[in-house]
Structure 1
């Protein structure tokens, strides 16, 4: 089950698929997919399995067909590094959705040449400002104007959840602190940066098919 929160009067849904959906804008926000990461490692001679691309793309395909979506914003680190064939396969996938606008807020791993990006249907921007005062960017914007909220990625946030038998599970999470909401990585080969629960932050753990706020 998704978790609904409100920022500047706008309803946002934190989905267990590790994305954010904003119904008023028919907008899906996806962060840190790192497509091409396994292909990049394989080119470098690192023994890792090839990424199952259709299985990866199917995770987004399900969301695009289940929700009313006019645009998708990738919050950076969409493609892991230099070009490999996985980028071309991704473009073919995106072309299945001509009615949807795809935008990338550039991240530190988004280093594909401009000539390659120019051939894609993806628009590349530094950040996006929604009319209600919500800014979308890869990393937090320094000295954010008062009244604005910032949705970001980059960190791959995770948390530790205590279970029965003194067991602890490390899970991806959404992290809200002050005016910054950090999304978990959509990619499955990214690792977690574990964040502690404190009085001045909110953690929303992805637990199976649910998003649960930690107390």
Structure 2
């Protein structure tokens, strides 16, 4: 994992598109979009069903490696209305019964409150921890003493090589007073960010997190 300090707090960035906050023993991630594959397949879109398995495999790997006390999802935990994938996720929650599963509601989190309650998931509209405000949508305005961490955007950084090579990679983005977490789930797409001079950007390449803040990203 890659270590960094943001707004005076220490975090670790994981190549599985998650952040670990040691002070709160919390694993932060965003935009799992569980059930999205089932939603597409129900609509007749031929998406491979193994994508569901890979999302949960990565989540289980993270929980086993990091062993957090809390898992906090910054929105869009589940993609749409209830389907069987929700029950599969419930088995993961049951297995890691010592972990507090928490959700900051996103625009795709549209299931009834009952579904979250029956799985033991703690739901927040937003979550304030110390000077940090955890939300799904990035906040447009924030007090100078606070720092906003959000999902929703699915950030990607566009990098160019010395020749004509170019690639857009999922990334962690840290600005002056706000951060964007990469989308954890598959089939989520990427939105190219436009980093400013002093912003920190960490691209995810296979099983590595690479600081590309000073590289020639296409801005």
Matched, 1:26 2:25: yes
Cα displacement (A) at 1:174: 0.8
2 CA distance for matches of 1:156 and 1:56?
A: 16
Cα displacement (A) at 1:145: 2.2
1 CA distance for matches of 2:113 and 2:91?
A: 19
- TM-score computed with the length of structure 1 as normaliser: 0.93
- Structure 2 residue aligned with 1:64: 63
- Structure 2 residue aligned with 1:204: 202
Distance 1:51 1:83, change over 3 A: farther
SS at match of 2:95: coil
SS at match of 1:121: coil
Given that 1:39 and 1:51 are in contact with CA atoms closer than 8 Å, whether structure 2 keeps it comes out as: no
- Structure 1 residue aligned with 2:217: none
- Structure 2 residue aligned with 1:178: 176
CA deviation map 1:13-51 (0-9, x unaligned): 121111111112111001001011111111122222224
SS at match of 1:95: helix
Cα displacement (A) at 1:178: 2.2
Cα displacement (A) at 1:200: 4.5
Cα displacement (A) at 1:151: 0.9
SS at match of 1:76: coil
Cα displacement (A) at 1:177: 1.8
Residue 141 of structure 1 is aligned with which of 139, 142, 161?
Answer: 139
Taking the TM superposition and a 5 Å limit, the aligned residue runs for 1:1-215 are 2-131=1-130, 133-163=131-161, 165-214=163-212, 215=214
Backbone CA RMSD of aligned residues: 1.5
Cα displacement (A) at 1:92: 1.1
1 CA distance for matches of 2:55 and 2:203?
A: 22
1 CA distance for matches of 2:118 and 2:90?
A: 9
Given that 2:32 and 2:55 are in contact with CA atoms closer than 8 Å, whether structure 1 keeps it comes out as: no
CA deviation map 1:71-112 (0-9, x unaligned): 000110010011111111111111101111010000000001
Aligned residue-pair number = 213
SS at match of 1:124: strand
CA deviation map 1:116-152 (0-9, x unaligned): 2221111111111112x11111112343222111111
Structure 2 unaligned spans of 5+: 215-219
SS at match of 1:38: helix
